[in-house]
A = this chain, B = another copy of it.
Amino acid sequence: MTSVVELGERAKAASRLLATASTSTKNAALLTAADLLLERAAEIQAANEADLAAARADGMAAGPLDRLRLTDARLQGMASGLRTVAGLADPVGEVLDGWKRPNGLQITRVRVPLGVIAIIYENRPNVTSDAAGLCVKAGNAALLRGSSSALRSNVAVASVLRDALAKHALPEDAIILVEDTAYETATQVMQLTDYVDCLIPRGGPSLIKSILDNAKVPVIIDGDGNCHVYVDASADLDEAARIVVNAKTQRPSVCNAAESLVVHASVADAFVPRIADVLHEQGVELVGDSEAQCRSLHIDAATDDDYGREYSDLKLSIAIAPDLDAAIAHVNHYGTGHTEAILTRDLDAARRFTREVDAAAVVVNASTRFTDGEEFGFGAEIGISTQKLHARGPMGLRELTTYKYLVYGSGQVRE
User: Residues on A close to B: CB < 8 A?
Assistant: 16, 19-20, 99, 101, 105, 107, 114-115, 193, 197-198, 212-213, 216, 218-221, 236, 239, 242-243, 245-247, 250, 332, 350, 354-356, 358-367, 369-371, 375-377, 387-390, 392-393, 402-414
Contacts and interface: CB of A to CB of B under 8 A. Distances in A.
Contacts of A412: 365-367, 370
A364 B101 contact: no
A390 B389 contact: yes
B413 A377 contact: no
Contact of A198 (B367, B377, B389, B392): B389
Contact of A367 (B16, B356, B361, B413): B413
Given A367-B413, A413-B369, A218 B389 contact: yes
Contact of A370 (B20, B105, B350): B105
Contacts of A405: 360-362, 371, 376, 392-393
Given A20-B355, A390-B390, A216 B220 contact: no
Given A366-B413, A411-B365, A412-B367, A389 B114 contact: yes
A299 to B, nearest CB: 23
A284 B250 CA distance: 70
Given A20-B355, A250-B414, A413-B246, A408 B361 contact: no
B370 A414 contact: yes
Given A370-B105, A388-B115, A16 B356 contact: yes
B365 A197 contact: no
A410 B363 CA distance: 10
B414 A402 contact: no
Copy number of this protein in the oligomer? Answer: 2
A350 B410 CA distance: 13
A379 B346 CA distance: 40
* Most B Cβ at <10 Å: residue of A219, A356, A361, A413: A413
B366 A198 contact: no
A370 B403 CA distance: 17
Contacts of A356: 16, 19-20
Contacts of A19: 355-356, 358
Given A350-B408, A362-B406, 7 more contacts: A198-B388, A213-B216, A218-B218, A218-B219, A243-B413, A361-B406, A365-B412
Contacts of A370: 105, 407, 409, 412, 414
A316 to B, nearest CB: 16
Contacts of A115: 358, 388
A284 B198 CA distance: 38
A114 B390 CA distance: 10
A107 B408 CA distance: 36
A388 B197 contact: yes
A32 to B, nearest CB: 25
Contact of A414 (B99, B219, B375, B406): B375
28 contacts: A16-B356, A20-B356, A115-B358, A193-B212, A197-B387, A198-B389, A212-B216, A213-B216, A218-B221, A218-B389, A239-B411, A243-B413, A247-B413, A354-B406, A358-B404, A359-B404, A361-B404, A362-B405, A362-B406, A363-B408, A363-B409, A364-B407, A364-B409, A365-B412, A369-B414, A370-B409, A390-B390, A392-B402
B389 A402 contact: yes
Given A212-B193, A414-B246, A16 B407 contact: no
Nearest to A221: B218
B242 A377 contact: no
